[in-house]
Structure formats: structure tokens, C-alpha cells
Amino acid sequence: MMDKLKVNDKIEVEFKSDKYPDIYLSKVADFVDAGIVITGLYKHGTPLAVKKGDKINVYFTTERAAYEFESVVLQRIKKPIYFILIKEPKELKRIQRRDYFRLELDRIMKVHKEKKDGSVMKKEAHLLDISGGGVQIKAKEEFAEGDIIKLSFGSLLNMSELIKGKIVRKSKDDFETYRYGVEFVDINAGEREKIIQWIFSLQRQLRKKGLGQ
């Protein structure tokens, strides 16, 4: 069952109680007979005082899918290094093929479009949904299918790079806005991975608040 999860794989840990409301980063340190050893959980550099019996959800991604499983803290190992022993799960739940998981949301982003004279038009657009393969946006500016634009996610993803996209769908949303389907093009693996990780992280945060899918 755990052949999907390997030593040194990154994981995210969410507590089922409100004791620790955030999602915490960790890594798989080892697999032992008693369960799975993960690196300690920290908030602002301070280790969390997790206790035996704390119920958690664990999330991780592979190249093709994202998974989650339920577990429980079995032991907090303080020395020589802070580790946590958690129970090996009875089952894994596949969330969805990760590249195609599409998260609906409403955020403001920037769209850049090079004009014929070489200047660059920069306009705001509403980000309506996002996946590892592209986005759906709403904007006042009219583009044509096939147009190449550049997307600035800015502080949303803490990403300074502009992502190139191609308009593959267009529809009139109302009398003053258009809705576009945009497919990422010439995106490197690192940029796509950053987007995918952000999508799953935000989806978990929204779900925890009762707002997610």
C-alpha cells in the first residue's frame, strides 16, 4: 500500500482538531515495523508539542496523482533529533490526477499582451479556476482564440516568473467582460510543479474552512 510513498518524500500534515489549525510541512524519514517516522513539525521555528493520539490527515503527491490518508501520532521522538512516529494507514485515497485537478476560485491577477508596436499591455483579470495545465480567466479586454498572453500570478503563488499561455476558448460573459480558457505553453517542470503544489495546498486550506470542493 505504501509503495507510493518513499523516504525523503515531502508530505503535508493537517490536524483533525483545532489544536493546530494550519497545514505543516514534513518529510518521510523512515519506515519501521511500528509505523512511519516523519520529521518534526514546526511553526515559526518552534516545534509543535504533538501528543500521542493526535489524529492527522497526511497529503503527498507523486508525478501522476495526489494522495491523502488518515493517521494518528504514536510517539514524539525528541532526541537526538525531533521526529514523530505515526501509524501506517489502512488505505490511501487518491485525490485526483494532479495535472488535471482544477480548483475554482476568484482572485485578481495580471495579464500581459505584447502589442504590434512592441509595447506590452498590462491589465487586471479575474482568475476563475486553475489547474496544472491552464487557467480560466475573465477580463474586459478582448483577445482572439490563438492569442499568446503572459500570466502574472504575483503574490498569489509567490512566483515572479511570467507564465506563457494560449487562448484556446473564448466566450462573451456579459456586456463588458469576456471569459477565456488559457492553456499553459512552454512551461517548465519546476513552474508547473509550483503551481500544482499551490493548488493542492490552497484546496486543503479552503476545505478546512468549509469552503473547498
pLDDT digits (tens, 9 = 90+) for 19-35: 887 778 899 999 999 99
CATH of the domain at 22: 2.30.110.10
Across the chain, mean pLDDT equals 86
* Burial classification of residue 141, based on how many CB atoms lie within 10 Å of its CB (0-12 exposed, 13-18 middle, 19 or more buried): middle
Task: Please state, in angstroms and rounded to a whole number, the distance separating the CA atoms of residues 148 and 132.
Answer: 18
**Does the bond joining 80 to the residue before it have cis omega, within 30 degrees of 0?**
yes
Whether 211 maps to a domain, the answer reads no
Mean pLDDT for the stretch of residues 36-61: 91
Mean pLDDT for the stretch of residues 51-79: 88
Task: Please state, in angstroms and rounded to a whole number, the distance separating the CA atoms of residues 205 and 199.
Answer: 10
Mean pLDDT for the stretch of residues 36-50: 90
Length of the chain: 213
Q: Who wins on pLDDT, 97 or 154?
A: 154
Task: Please state, in angstroms and rounded to a whole number, the distance separating the CA atoms of residues 136 and 113.
Answer: 16
Confidence of residue 196 (pLDDT cuts 50, 70, 90): confident
Residues 42 and 54 in one domain: yes
Whether 134 maps to a domain, the answer reads yes
Contact at 8 Å (CB) between 20 and 48?
yes
pLDDT digits (tens, 9 = 90+) for 108-141: 999 999 888 888 999 999 999 898 889 999 999 9
Residues 70 and 140 in one domain: no
Whether 87 maps to a domain, the answer reads yes
pLDDT score for 71 = 96
pLDDT score for 178 = 92
Whether 23 maps to a domain, the answer reads yes
Mean pLDDT for the stretch of residues 36-64: 89
Residues 166 and 118 in one domain: yes
Residues 63 and 47 in one domain: yes
Mean pLDDT for the stretch of residues 37-65: 88
Confidence of residue 210 (pLDDT cuts 50, 70, 90): low
Confidence of residue 38 (pLDDT cuts 50, 70, 90): very high
* Counted domains in the chain: 2
Q: Is 194 helix (H, G, I), strand (E, B) or coil?
A: helix
C-alpha cell at 109: 491577477
Residues 107 and 197 in one domain: yes
Please give the DSSP secondary-structure letter assigned to residue 201. H
Sequence-ordered alpha helix ranges (H) in 57-188:
none
